[in-house]
Amino acid sequence: MDYVNKKVLVVGLARSGVAAAQLLCRHGALVTVNDSKTEAELGEALSPLHTLPVTWRLGCPAMDCLGGQDVLVISPGIPDKAPFVVKAKEQGLYVIGELELAFQLAQGEVVAVTGTNGKTTTVTLLREIFAAAGRRSFAVGNIGYPYSLAAMDSREDDVMVCECSSFQMETVETFHPHVAVLTNITEDHLNRHGTMAEYTRLKMRVFENQTPEDTAVFNADDPALAPLPAQVRSRVMLFSRRREVERGAFVRGGVVTVRDESGEHAILPAEEIYIPGPHNLENALAAVCAAWAMGVPAAVIADTLRTFQGVEHRIEFTRELDGVRYYNDSKGTNVDSTIRAVQTMNRPTAIILGGSDKHCDFTPLVKEMLASPYMREAVLIGVTADQIEATLRREGFPDAAIHREATMEDAVKRCRALAQPGWNVLLSPACASFDMFHDYEERGRIFKQIVRSLN
């Protein structure tokens, strides 16, 4: 779409909204920016817009700003069923999200990764693989770096590795990745989407514009994905750490192997992958499929898997103090993600759980904690503490091992008092962060600051 002289309203001035406004100004649009917060409340976040010709509508409802506009661009945090979005559509405005806008205006090939868990690690790993292969690559989207920012500097031969959330998928239209990956689907975001069927439908939108010339990658070990490959038009690759697949990546005899129409190709021994845990083997296999589909040589993929050290806030080693190791898994924002962190622990562990409510069932997590030989203490914080405590007690987690604290600092100090030499302390909340923190990144940074201040 040509945005020159189009009147565009951008609603929501977090990172993606600010970036969308910048990109639109670059392309000649007449931009109005709106947020329910005031300029004082938004602070430095607005600084990239101060030198641009935007019209400011801050501290007021978006509904009051629709008049005279041609286009509405909404941030991912705004549901597509919000009353002002519905009204905009009724008035004939073209309504899209920031990701769709960026795709329309960016150059380069797109590799997209969606799913409940593993997205950020897989996206970051793929960016490193493409960079090692000599391609200029960007990790964009839900990972925290807006696609719109990369779009302003994009070139035809770039690779945009895009982390796609279900929120962003609500407002895509022409978004068309050459390779798209679905890592897994487990219960998450039901407070917004309502049902697992709707959540799954939104995840599957990442494939809807693909053609037979494109590639769709699915996790063959996730039963929830079993019926989904038949629904796409693109070529399918599967990945599995448990069995061989006809086309895709798997482990045989301890060796990561990829199979396609040209035959079988050994990548590297699975034990040489730097990042630990069964979930990271899955992430690595997903990346192998996507990189192979993009023509990256096996040696480049292998070298990157041997050296890639993971991402911040995902089972991130923070410090060892008095024989106790502290791990920041603030990105554990749902039950399945925290289950994966629990499965990675190989020493007695005190875990910090709790946060804002996403209407998820904590029973599978508690059962995994009970099955693990290492989960010894649970320290609960946040809005969901009552719900988690009730689940722990109902499933038989020892009463004496359940603790409640009001703040992150208190929780860390309680864990320090509980943990003995040879233990781990793991922050993996299984919940979103918005009850106590701006986002999971702030939660993780504060955890690390507290841990590093211990003496």
CA separation (Å) from 371 to 380, 387, 398, 409, 455? 19, 20, 13, 28, 33
CATH of residue 47: 3.40.50.720
Tell me: do 166 and 93 sit in the same domain. no
Q: Output the CA angle 37-42-45, nearest 5 degrees.
A: 140
Quickly state the pLDDT bin for 190 (edges 50, 70, 90): low
Asked whether residue 174 is assigned to any structural domain, the reply reads yes
> Do residue 123 and residue 247 come from a single domain?
yes
d(CA 56, CA 212): 45
Specify whether 250 is located in the same domain as 330. no
Per-residue pLDDT tens over the stretch 105-132: 999 999 999 999 899 999 999 999 999 9
Residue 311 — very low, low, confident or very high, per pLDDT cuts 50/70/90? confident
Is the domain of 59 the same as that of 11?
yes
Q: Is 252 helix (H, G, I), strand (E, B) or coil?
A: strand
Domain finish residue from 79, 98, 117? 98
CA pair distance 37, 35, nearest whole angstrom: 5
Does residue 390 fall inside a structural domain?
A: yes
List the domain range (segments joined by +) for residue 91.
7-98
Query: What is the C-alpha separation between 19 and 13, in angstroms, rounded?
Result: 9
Quickly tell me which residue has 């109902």 as its tokens. Answer: 394
Residue 111: burial class (beta carbons within 10 Å; 0-12, 13-18, 19+): buried
CATH code at position 209? 3.40.1190.10
Taking residue 417's Cβ as centre, other Cβ atoms within 10 Å add up to: 10
Same domain, 131 and 32: no
Same domain, 110 and 198: yes
Instruction: Please identify which residue in the block is written with the tokens 């939660």.
Output: 443
How confident is the model over 279-289, as pLDDT tens digits?
A: 899 999 999 99
Put simply, whether the predicted model's pTM sits higher than 0.85 gets the answer: no
Inside any domain, residue 323? yes
Q: pLDDT for 239-290, tens place per residue?
A: 999 999 999 999 999 999 999 999 999 999 999 999 988 889 999 999 999 9
| Phi (first) and psi of residue 6, to 5 degrees | -80, 140
- The pLDDT > 70 percentage for the chain reads 99
Provide φ and ψ at 42, rounded to 5°: -80, -30
The answer to the question of residue 2 being in a domain is: no
Let me know if residue 238 belongs to a domain: yes
Q: pLDDT-based confidence at 144, cuts 50/70/90? A: confident
Domain closes at, from 270, 285, 307: 307
Mean predicted lDDT score pLDDT of the chain: 95
Q: Judge whether residue 307 has pLDDT over 70.
A: yes
pLDDT in tens, 55-102: 999 999 999 999 999 999 999 989 989 999 999 999 999 999 999 999
Q: Is the pLDDT of residue 165 over 90?
A: yes
Over pLDDT 90: what percentage of the chain?
90
Angle between helix axes 298-307 and 278-293 (nearest 10 degrees) is 150
* Among candidate residues 218, 141, 194, the one with its CA nearest the CA of residue 172: 141
Residues 72, 15 share a domain: yes
For the chain, the farthest-separated pair of C-alpha atoms sits apart, in whole angstroms, at 65
Provide the residue count of the chain: 455
- CA 28 – CA 146 distance, rounded (Å): 19
Number of domains in the chain: 3
Last residue of a domain, one of 290, 307, 324: 307
Q: Is residue 298 part of a domain?
A: yes
